[in-house]
Amino acid sequence: MKWHSISTREVLSDLKSGEKGLSSDDAASRLNEYGANQLQSPSKPSPLRIFLEQFKGYMVLVLVFAALISYIAGESTNAYVILAIVVLVAIIGFVQEYKAERAMEALREMVAPEADVMRDGSMSTIPAAELVAGDLIYLEAGDKVPADGRILEKTAFEVIEASLTGESLPIKKGLDLLPEEAALADRKNMVFMGTIVSYGNCRAVVTATGLATELGKISGMIRHSSAAPPLKIKLEQLAKRQAILVFAISIIVFILDASRGSPIMDSLITAIALAVAGVPEALPFIVTLALAFGTQAMARKNAIIRRLPAVETLGSTTVICTDKTGTLTTGEMTLREIHTFRTVDVEGSGYTPEGSFLDKGKIIDPQAEDLASLLQIGTLCNNADIEQSNGVWRIVGDPTEGAIIVAARKAGILEKLRKSSSKVVEFPFDSDRRRMTVVDDIHGQGRVASMKGAPEAVLSCCSRIADGGAVRHLTEEDRKAMLEKADHMASRALRVLGFASRPMSLDEPLFISEIESDLIFFGLAGMMDPPRKEVMEAISLSKEAGIRTVMITGDHRLTARAIGAELEIGNGEVLEGADLEKMDERDLLERIESVSIYARVTAEHKVRLVEALKKKGNIVAMTGDGV
């Protein structure tokens, strides 16, 4: 059902729900019919099963058979040695894989434990596993969404969906009907299990739970049995060839020896001894030991290897498919460029308040009038904060506002400004005005109105412009130049905001129409989720090793292309999920080797891309913090 494309009244009707939610009896009946609202994690093997799995290899079976033949032939010492090697190999493999399973189990935590739900006409808190389709849930900032749902009511509601769609910015949710074919990342009237509410609150009706959710569908994909690793295939092929060859030679030796008149039993013992000698008893032990050392080396680099042969598979990789947000990039919005009467680059990435301000490559004083004025406006028009916990800096509030706060702290004006200012009135950002305006009393400056927002929305309220320490009339040429600069910044995947301000008298009325007029335009600032420092070197090393890097993200085309260009991934060509939908298997196989950047894709698209790369003979690794 395309819940995003029908009215809320139809949604409630189809789900047999209402404004007062479900009754307890109805909810219990649905829970019994459809099951608990939880994802089935991949089946957890018991320690005994993990141990027995070590004996499934073809080479191990050949060794066991060789030990049996040796014992029958009276070579009990040889038989015991072979069995000891087999058991030792199994123990080493068991220890490594059991430790990895325990570590993986500790990492499996993706669903909210509780939910606020309307039952029997009143609000209550229940375990998230007891939610059913038709329940009315209440979500607020900080909540992890417990199930998929259609939004019924909302107040300034924003959700972080990076782990599901790859979108690096919080998504502003709405109530409008959407086209049936709308991509997952564009369904702004829906909430999805596992995402996080960053701002505001909403009331929603649950449309899917458990494996029926978007996250559950992805969980179902990864539960399919994986292909055998290359090393296992090679060893099995070697074992089969070795067994056939040894068996054939032993039969020939037995026939030739017996035809020369030797006793049958002597000929048989000779043939058996030759067969046992032809089996490389130490090979499984050496291979397992080498893989175990590789696994330990990876563990020291904080990489958990669940199956020993995966170490060799990683070494055979020819293509790395990677998510963007939080993997290639920091996952933290950063102010990178300021444009006043000049263009200033801001160094540093993420939320750590360290970095210089550069004008044409030269470090400048960030408390220069043009920069300080713009950052002051951004700090006053702001409800975010920055804090340090366990040595790590993090943002509380909207990431875009947080990026401005970090830049203000880099410039050394944040603490001083906060101590000397007090807010008088605030007019929050809304989708119609596309700007935020505040009035503050600032010690030494008096009363000041400050505005930030979409460049065209801010410019529409300005009649003057700051220009190198002076203030002059804002001309149409100035307006056009600033909008062209904003478009140029946006084309490089920067999120661009405009900034304006003006002094006010204490007796001036605090009406929004009065405040948002005759402002002075101070400039633009561009923010983005920047690449990690270490990524460029990693991609370069991969190229040297003959490994191709492919970026697969749910983010927008422009953002993906800009990050790809900065990291030298691909040739600038980008395919979107909508393009993939139109391609049949043959078309995709023709394009898969030439395109290295994919944007606005879903988890289903990611699986399809990986399968296409494998069909072209590649060994593919997939990495990322999303799904």
| H helix runs in 15-161, sequence order | 24-34, 47-53, 58-72, 76-107
The encoded tokens of residue 436 equal 């935020």
Q: Which two tokens stand for residue 588?
A: 């995709």
**Strand ranges, E, within 495-556:** 495-504, 519-528, 548-552
Residue 321: phi and psi, rounded to 5, are -95, 125
Instruction: Show the tokens assigned to 463.
Output: 């009649």
The phi and psi torsions of 406 (rounded to 5 degrees) equal -60, -45
Strand ranges in 397-494 using DSSP code E only, listed in sequence order: 421-427, 435-442, 446-453, 462-467, 470-473
- Closest listed residue to residue 400, CA positions, set 307, 335, 315, 352: 335
DSSP conformation class of 235? H
- Distance from C-alpha of 471 to C-alpha of 487, rounded to nearest angstrom: 24
- 422-439: burial string, b at 16+ Cβ within 10 Å, e else: eeeeebebeeebebbbbb
DSSP annotation of 531: B
Of 339, 360, 356, 358, the residue nearest 348 (C-alpha): 356
Cβ atoms 466, 500 nearer than 8 A: no
Strand partners, 474: none
Do 400 and 336 touch, CB atoms closer than 8 A?
Answer: no
Within 10 Å of residue 81's Cβ, how many Cβ atoms?
A: 14
Strands (E), 353-484: 357-359, 362-364, 385-389, 392-396, 421-427, 435-442, 446-453, 462-467, 470-473
First-residue to last-residue Cα distance in the chain: 22
Provide the residue type at 450 as one letter.
S
Identity (one letter) of the amino acid at 389?
A: S
What is d(CA 499, CA 346) in angstroms, rounded to the nearest whole number?
A: 17
The rounded distance, in Å, linking the Cα atoms of 558 and 496 is 14
Tell me the C-alpha distance between 379 and 416, whole Å.
Answer: 11
DSSP state of 184: G
Q: Which residues have a Cβ under 8 Å from the Cβ of 328 and sit 6 or more positions away?
A: 322, 531, 532, 535, 551, 563, 567
Any catalytic annotation for residue 323?
yes
Question: Tokens 């204490």 belong to which residue?
Answer: 506
C-beta separation of 360 from 354 below 8 A: no
Which of 135, 148, 257, 323 is an active site residue? 323
Tell me which DSSP letter residue 543 carries: H
Dist. CA 309–CA 464, nearest whole Å: 67
Phi, psi angle pair for 436, to nearest 5°: -125, 135
Pairing of strands 462-467, 519-528: parallel
Show which residues are catalytic: 323
